[in-house]
Amino acid sequence: MNQKNIHWYPGHMKKAFQELEGRLKLIDVVIEICDARAPISSRNPFLSQILQNKKKVIVLSKKDMVESSLLSPFIDAYKKEGLVLPFGIYTPSDIKKLKILIEESAIEKREKEKRKGLKPQPIKVMVVGIPNVGKSSLINALVGKESASKANKPGHTRAQQWIRSLKEFDLLDTPGILPPHYEDKLIATHLAWIGAIPEEILPIEELFDSLIAFLLPKYQKEIATRFHLEEDSFSSLTALKEGIAKSRGLLLKEGKYDLDAVEKVFLKEFKEGKIVHTIVDTLC
């Protein structure tokens, strides 16, 4: 794969990174989100670095898309860095836990206010992470309404936005920020599989082939069930593609199988968590 192919750094991201860095000193607590499906690949080391001295909660988002037993070792690993929370926007107890962790992180601010005899001010919380990890969704879950615009498309939020509808917290939504380029094509591949970068910036066939190679040793049964495949569909990659084309009626006019459509459908359904609930990264 050509290194040029794994470069996706839209113009707004450089500006967004500078704006984020400039705003940091006003912030009491940072929520750094990574996607539970790729807890390592979906972290931006440049962000982690500038957040080193901030009070921080690491959130592993979209936990409903991952088997919880697979996530535990990653939670333990991140605990060495500070507060960690596996989180799902559909789990009300996670929203409560997050509010407690934010308060816990801002204890020094609260003590300072008390010493000075000041009324408690809203805790200023900045939500950061790479694109599409669920920053705007987490803010909406915290405030209980659709205040921040969200979409299942990386790079949706383009500018910082304060959401000030809670008494206890002011929440700053920020645009997703990636490192300027990826040295490691495996990281970019994992991000494309989960939809954190657009899959079009990589050759689709290569993305499909690598995803199948990753999934087959552990999840052949799940793939067979999802696409109603018999054992012989797993005899080769071509047989597998043709099996999926047959089961989904993906045919071209001349009666040939539409293998491009097969790749797209498979990648889409994986991204939507319809095939398996797995983690694509490996803990060293």
Q: How far apart are CA 116 and CA 86, in angstroms?
A: 35
Nearer to ligand GTP, 148 or 250 (CB): 148
CB 36 within 8 A of CB 89: no
Return the range that interacts with ligand GTP (CB under 6 A); candidates 110-118, 148-156, 251-259, 263-271: 148-156
Return d(Cα 158, Cα 167) in angstroms, integer.
26
Residue 136 in the binding site for ligand GTP (CB under 6 A): yes
Return the one option of Mg ion, ligand GTP, none that residue 133 interacts with (CB less than 5 to 8 A, by type). ligand GTP
Least spacing, CB of residue 58 vs ligand GTP, in Å: 15
Q: Pattern 156-195, binding to ligand GTP, x per CB under 6 A?
A: xx-----------------xx-------------------
Number of alpha carbons in the 13 Å side-chain half-sphere of residue 140: 14
In whole angstroms, give the CA distance from residue 244 to residue 168: 51
Q: Select from 50-58, 135-143, 198-206, 259-267 the region that touches ligand GTP (CB under 6 A).
A: 135-143
| Identity of the residue, 38 or 133, whose beta carbon is nearer to Mg ion in the bound complex | 133
User: Do the beta carbons of residue 193 and residue 267 sit within 8 Å?
Assistant: yes
Among 13, 29, 98, 131, binds ligand GTP (CB under 6 A): 131
Beta strand residue intervals within the chain, DSSP E: 29-35, 55-61, 83-86, 123-129, 161-163, 169-173
Which positions lie near Mg ion, rule CB under 5 A? 135-136, 156-157
Residues 41, 132, 147, 189: which binds ligand GTP (CB under 6 A)? 132
Told to check if 105 binds ligand GTP by CB under 6 A, we report no
What are the beta bridge partners of residue 33? 59, 129
Q: Under 8 Å CB-to-CB from 107, ≥6 apart: which residues? A: none
| 61 lies in the site for ligand GTP, by CB under 6 A | yes
Using the minimum distance from each CB to ligand GTP, give the nearer residue, 56 or 241: 56
For Mg ion, give the closer residue by CB, 161 or 220.
Answer: 161
Distance CA 240, CA 232 (A): 8
Q: Which does 258 bind (CB under 5 to 8 A by kind): ligand GTP, Mg ion, none?
A: none
* 86, 110, 279, 283 from 73: Cα distances, Å: 12, 33, 11, 8
CB of 255 to ligand GTP, least distance (A): 37
